[in-house]
Amino acid sequence: MTGVALLAARRTAVVPRGGAFRDMEPFALAAALIGPILAEAGIAAAAVDEVILGNALSGGGNVARVAALAAGLPQHVPALTLDTQCCSGLDAIRMGAARIAAGEARYVLAGGVESFSRAPLRAHRPRNKDEAPAFYRQPAFTPWPEREPDLAAAAAELARAEGIPRPAQEAFAMESHRRALALPPPDGEIVPVIGVATDPFARVLSPALLARLPVIAGDAAFGVTAATTAVEADAAAMVLLGPGGAGPVQVLGALARGGDPLMPALAPVPAVEALCGRLGLHARDMEHVELMEAYAAQALAGIGRLGLDPARVNAQGGALARGHPIGASGAVLAVRAFQRLRAAGGRALVAIAGAGGIASAMVLSGKDETLPPWQD
């Protein structure tokens, strides 16, 4: 098996739905990253073996292929779009790394893209002339309606089960925003698109302000609010993968795991435990952790169960302070980890959950290292 490295990693700003990216198609967001990434790595467009992008809301059309063509990649470069909901972007990177490790490719562009603003409406086709189209907001994530909770309701139930009261969730959200404002992304992380070069959502929050927000799911004691839920957003994020040692960040390992669909937010816990176990590492020893903050309760539960140091988790703020561009979110985490490792070294854990009770995790290293074969 061949080692795998991240040669370059960039993203767009993460912009809430209806904001500056509201008129941009997903492929255009993704295409804007390809040229700068290849230029940073010094790799010719013709050397790219494949483009793999995660996307959850575009409704088909292979957005990865459209983005590749829009960016001017040669027609011979194939492209693949995958949908594992929130895990899509990280899964695309995981798949690209596997391609290189297996010797099927040398250079792969991988990541994710999403536009809540331009997502098509969803409807079931009428079954007869007397029936109207049946619109729906989200598809089924399990075959069992009784085991498919509303995600906000599931987060509120998780908060109750894990003993995470509303004030603790709000304190976590405030800290996420504070960190994002105090430590903005380094130069080169964000590719400006239509003049947008910063994440616009982070703001100064106060306990008094958050206490006035209505509960959107759950009860007064453990319920979730708009402030403890990541806002819907538009963004793209991408990395260039290549042979081990060819870039500043090494991929030490990655995997996906399934969990209980009733508690989808807990799925990263077994995924991280399995990955670290196979690598002979401990999650608590990672210098940097990029953990998805779809809900404050979700992140707090993961931190608690994995024994993570909160100071090392999302040190520059998380999705609560940026937004949640579903298919791109995992790739955004990977780009952030890349930038942290390039600046400070060490190892980084990236983890994200997806609807239906799935999760993906990856361990990256800012050192020129490889680990022994996986331990079963």
Q: Which of 137, 170, 146, 194 is nearest to 15 (CA)?
A: 194
Q: What does the chain come to in residues? A: 376
CA angle 318, 329, 173 (to 5 degrees): 25
Alpha carbon dihedral 218, 361, 338, 1, in 10-degree steps, equals -170
Check: CB of residue 102 under 8 Å from CB of residue 108: no
Q: Single out the catalytic residue among 87, 177, 276, 324.
A: 324
Q: How far, in Å, CA of 178 to CA of 194, rounded?
A: 26
Q: What stretch of H or E contains 31?
A: helix 26-41
Burial class, 69, CB count within 10 angstroms (exposed 0-12 / middle 13-18 / buried 19+): middle
Q: Which two tokens stand for residue 359?
A: 């999760």
**Residue 276 is among the residues annotated as catalytic for this protein:** no
Decide if 16 contacts 235 (C-beta within 8 A). Answer: no
**Strand, helix or coil for residue 194:** coil
Q: Which helix (H) or strand (E) holds 292?
A: none
**Active-site residue flag, 124:** no
Block residue for tokens 């996307």: 55
> By the 8 A CB rule, do 55 and 119 touch?
no
Token pair 């955004």 is found at 332
Catalytic site residue from 86, 87, 276, 288: 86
Q: Which two tokens stand for residue 236?
A: 């793209």
Catalytic (active-site) positions: 86, 324
